[in-house]
Chains A and B, each alone.
Chain A
Amino acid sequence: MKRLDVDNLGERLTRRLAGRLSRRSALARLGAVLVAAPAFPLLPVQRARAADAGAVAQQGTDFSRAAQTHDDTACNYWRYCGIDGNLCSCCGGSTHSCPPGSQPSPTSWIGSCVNPGDQRSYLVAYRDCCGAKECNKCSCLNTDHAMPIYRPQANNHIIWCFGTQSFEYHCSMAVLVGLAE
């Protein structure tokens, strides 16, 4: 899977946002999420109080300090702190649903990411969607506390398609498991 140079991310993100002017397509996408996700998580996305801004900047991880909580098609979306591959959100799926034509794998690796809105740690299951050709959109590689391949429970280079029909990797989800603190 191609890697995105995160240093150029800001520029690409701006271009992508500017290109997505269609209100209808944005609505359609959100609508699909509402329908497909009865367990749509309510994140306590609090804006850091101005008085705590300095303290907040000291907490979290280096990734969470640069992360955002509103655009799941960008590599610095807070849940993607350990993602490797294409974002299913850019491929017709979402952070927790596979695009049609692919299947979710029952296995995954589980990492934890800090939500910059509330500075708390959440467990995220990086579950791959398998069975279709590589989506080849929104390629990201983040390795916040990712482990080498000989500790597979936290490795994001293993193709986590065990239990599906093949290891044809399509995209990666970042499924919220729960609050880890």
Chain B
Amino acid sequence: MNPIAHKAGRVAVGAAGLLMSIAAGIGAPTWAAQQPAAADAPPVLQSETAGVTPFAGLTPHELSYNTLDGLTGGGIRVIDGDTAKLIATVYSSQYANFAWAPDHRTLYVSETYWTLGNRGQREDVLSIYGGPALSNEGEIPLPGRLISDPKTNTFALSPDGRYAYDYTFQPAPGVSVTDLNARKVVTSVEIPGCGLVFPFGKRGFASLCADGSLAVADLDRQGKYSVHRTKRFFDIMKDPVMDESVADRGSGLALFITNDGWVHPVQLGDAPRFDPAWSIEVAAGLSPATSTVGQITWRPSGQVPFAYDAPRRRLFALMREDSPWNNEKAGSEIWVLDARHHRLLHRWPVPESALLVAITPDAHPLLFALSQEWLWVMDPDSGAVLRATEIVTPGLVRVRGE
């Protein structure tokens, strides 16, 4: 035997064995006790093997957000509010939306790719991620979707998590309905002149309409979707209801909030109940805001300007003192409002200025304020900034239960 070849062969086998054990290590979750096969002792006893830090599901104090930056091209990140540390990152396309299942572990991502990047076959998909490594678990083809800057209410799961609703805009508006158990789209509901989805009940959803009404969609007795419109409750040309209005999935209460700070509480359902509107500014002891040219006053403003703390019925609003029609600029304060009694509870200044706000749903909530570059974790009851971290330009945010 050629001694050189023999040695080379042994090195090759050893290298292969090393590679195989590394591969086995990457595949094997580190929390599971590694059980080396009794008959196959590893040729190299490694101090560590590489695995994936287990993902235990979105915790109450974690914030997830996707990125808006057109150059980095999307992605969903999870940050722990208690430590301000990055926990997980999931791939997504640009202009994606996402939602967590009620198990807090499965992540649904509504996204669009072209096979050759800026051309080729268009693929609209609902991608699924889950398990301890937040691995991709396949995707469900969608019949199209809206391509826009991320907007919270263009994609949502039904409250029980069995169906996904996706606002499509081809540019004829509609909502695709996906059965997440059967992993297929079951129907598309046309909602001409309307947009966005606010789910309620088992299979219902409401959409905001340009004529100032709500479109309410639900299954009829034949099991098919029918859509009807409510009365008109706002004048879109004078004071539109903002896209980033909030709704509590648990109770079905929506707060449709206009540019001028009018809050329309609506109990969603087949026959929505419209409660009297109240003004954020009046709740703070100011005159109502209007869109009169030159009127400088406090107005809700930002990219995601509202967060609703359902258990305590508190509305958090990013506010900015400015003239009308500037409702997407950064806010300098977070106002904490009692949504039941229509009173201002607190005004917290934001470090620098903020574009997004979120509140966790647990008993000791954390308040998140985000700019294009920073995430600040704040105490909602004192306004104290607890910690901060740099982030990638955020698009939209979701906490547990949203």
Task: Say if the two chains contact directly (CB < 8 Å).
Answer: yes
Contact A62 B118 (CB under 8 A): no
B112 at interface, CB cutoff 8 A: yes
Contact A62 B294 (CB under 8 A): yes
Checking A132, A148, A168 against B243 with a beta-carbon cut-off of 8 angstroms, the contacting residue is A148
| Chain A residue nearest to B68 in the complex (CB) | A1
Contacts of B114 in A (CB 8 A): 165-166, 168
A89-140 residues with Cβ-Cβ distance < 8 A to B are: 107, 130-134, 136
Query: A25–B284 Cα gap in the complex (Å)?
Result: 53
Contact A143 B194 (CB under 8 A): no
Contacts of A166 in B (CB 8 A): 114, 117-120, 122
A5 at interface, CB cutoff 8 A: yes
Checking B122, B154, B243, B325 against A61 with a beta-carbon cut-off of 8 angstroms, the contacting residue is B325
Interface flags, A34-65, vs B, CB<8A=1, else 0: 00000000000000000000000010111101
Q: Identify the stretch in B9-17, B129-137, B142-150 within 8 Å (CB) of chain A at 4 or more residues.
A: B142-150
Asked if A157 meets B148 with Cβ closer than 8 Å, knowing A62-B293, A150-B194, the reply is yes
Contacts of B326 in A (CB 8 A): 62, 143
Min distance, Cβ A11 to any Cβ of chain B, angstroms: 16
| Chain B residue nearest to A141 in the complex (CB) | B328
Min distance, Cβ A131 to any Cβ of chain B, angstroms: 5
| Chain B residue nearest to A144 in the complex (CB) | B325
A83 at interface, CB cutoff 8 A: no
Query: A168–B196 Cα gap in the complex (Å)?
Result: 23
Query: A133–B68 Cα gap in the complex (Å)?
Result: 14
Contact A2 B69 (CB under 8 A): yes
Contact A152 B325 (CB under 8 A): no
A32 at interface, CB cutoff 8 A: no
B95 at interface, CB cutoff 8 A: yes
Query: A93–B323 Cα gap in the complex (Å)?
Result: 32
Asked if A61 meets B293 with Cβ closer than 8 Å, knowing A3-B355, A150-B210, the reply is yes
Number of CB contacts from chain A to chain B under 8 A: 115
| Chain B residue nearest to A64 in the complex (CB) | B293
Contact B70 A133 (CB under 8 A): yes
Query: A157–B328 Cα gap in the complex (Å)?
Result: 11
Query: A42–B126 Cα gap in the complex (Å)?
Result: 49
B389 at interface, CB cutoff 8 A: no
| Chain B residue nearest to A153 in the complex (CB) | B210
B331 at interface, CB cutoff 8 A: no
Interface flags, B149-174, vs A, CB<8A=1, else 0: 10100100000000000000101010
Contacts of A84 in B (CB 8 A): 149
Asked if A148 meets B325 with Cβ closer than 8 Å, knowing A158-B148, A159-B148, the reply is no
A78 at interface, CB cutoff 8 A: no
Query: A151–B193 Cα gap in the complex (Å)?
Result: 7
Asked if A159 meets B210 with Cβ closer than 8 Å, knowing A132-B118, A148-B240, A152-B173, the reply is no
Min distance, Cβ A156 to any Cβ of chain B, angstroms: 9
Query: A165–B121 Cα gap in the complex (Å)?
Result: 9
Contact B70 A152 (CB under 8 A): no
Contacts of B173 in A (CB 8 A): 150, 152
| Chain A residue nearest to B151 in the complex (CB) | A149
Contact A148 B208 (CB under 8 A): yes
Asked if A167 meets B151 with Cβ closer than 8 Å, knowing A2-B372, A134-B70, A148-B241, the reply is no
Query: A161–B118 Cα gap in the complex (Å)?
Result: 11
Query: A144–B326 Cα gap in the complex (Å)?
Result: 7
Min distance, Cβ A163 to any Cβ of chain B, angstroms: 10
B17-73 residues with Cβ-Cβ distance < 8 A to A are: 68-71
Contact A3 B325 (CB under 8 A): no
B180-209 residues with Cβ-Cβ distance < 8 A to A are: 193-196, 207-209
Checking B112, B171, B207, B294 against A150 with a beta-carbon cut-off of 8 angstroms, the contacting residue is B207
Contacts of A149 in B (CB 8 A): 146, 148, 151, 154, 195-196, 243
Query: A166–B122 Cα gap in the complex (Å)?
Result: 8
| Chain A residue nearest to B154 in the complex (CB) | A149
A12 at interface, CB cutoff 8 A: no
Contacts of A67 in B (CB 8 A): none
* 13 pairs of residues in contact across A and B, judged by CB atoms under 8 Å: A3-B372, A58-B294, A60-B293, A144-B325, A149-B154, A149-B243, A150-B196, A150-B208, A152-B173, A152-B195, A159-B95, A165-B114, A168-B114
3 smallest CB-CB distances across A and B, nearest first, come from A134-B70, A150-B195, A62-B323
Beyond contacts A5-B329, A136-B70, A158-B147: 12 other A-B pairs, Cβ-Cβ < 8 A, are A2-B393, A3-B303, A3-B328, A60-B293, A61-B325, A146-B325, A149-B148, A150-B194, A151-B240, A159-B149, A165-B114, A167-B147
